Amino acid sequence: MASLQNSPSLHRSLFLNSLPHPHNHVHCTPAFSCCTRRPSSLLVRAEHASSATASDRPGRRQLLAVVLILPSVPLLSQNSISFAAESKKGFVPVLDQKDGYTFLYPFGWQEVTIEGQDKVFKDVIEPLESVSVNIIPTSKQDIREFGTPQEIGETLIKRVLAPPSQKTKLVEAKEREVNGKAYYTIEFIAQAPNYTRHALSTISIANGKFYTLTTGANERRWGKIKDKLQTVVESFTLKNV
């Protein structure tokens, strides 16, 4: 994997839309339908370019390098066969057989299309309440090769998961293990001029890919919905494909 020191300046990352603005324009599709997603080889462009410094750890430089290239988005397939994200009252299961991931989202959220994201569901009344999945290739085999949950969490929220214009704070970063695979979960707050979003992200590696699921809500709604969002994050699991 190329190091950032051999890459162009870091431009607006593929994960930037993980914190959707309240009035993002999206194309709604039925929540239970399968859809063909448009391939995109677009490099996501810059707002505040950021280069790795000599003091950066190699793992951190590599972590930032993996967000430079947006792969073609695959077809999503949902079948009725059993899979890891078990059905739970009040939630809808999602299965992507091609990319090997499953998760749950709250009943009533609608599927939308946002360029640069593999899968997105959001509440139509509270647009900051959403879940998105991003996938990029990596040569790493385990998320722990990039560093500790705290290290990765700080890097992602400052340079990847929120626009540079937003003030961010890492609340918590921890590791969990499911069927021998490590997942990092980070909780953070991103403050924009007109809203504050409280979010959770879980990241892991499988199938030569770096997976990030991000969910969140407006800070004023956090107390009411945090348990649901925790269920979404904990339901995210990967399998070999």
Secondary structure of 158-221 in HEC code, one letter for each residue: HHCCCCCCCEEEEEEEEEEEECCEEEEEEEEEEECCCCEEEEEEEEEEECCEEEEEEEEEEHHH
> What whole-number distance in Å separates Cα of residue 130 and Cα of residue 123?
6
Query: What is this structure's pTM?
Result: 0.69
pLDDT at residue 79 in the model? 42
- Domain total of the chain: 1
Cβ distance 132 to 214 under 8 Å? yes
Cβ distance 194 to 177 under 8 Å? no
Residue 161 sits in a domain whose CATH number is 3.40.1000.10
**Tens digits of residue pLDDT in 22-46:** 444 344 333 323 333 433 332 333 3
Q: Which residues, given as ranges, of the chain have pLDDT below 70? A: 1-87
Domain, as residue range, for 71: 4-238
Query: Looking up tokens 């918590």, which residue turns up?
Result: 172
Of 147, 141, 199, 191, nearest to 165 (Cα)? 191
pLDDT at residue 61 in the model? 52
Of 12, 41, 10, 9, nearest to 137 (Cα)? 41
In this structure, the number of other CB atoms found within 10 A of the CB of residue 238 comes to: 22
**Tens digits of residue pLDDT in 35-83:** 334 333 323 333 333 333 444 454 555 555 544 433 333 333 344 334 4
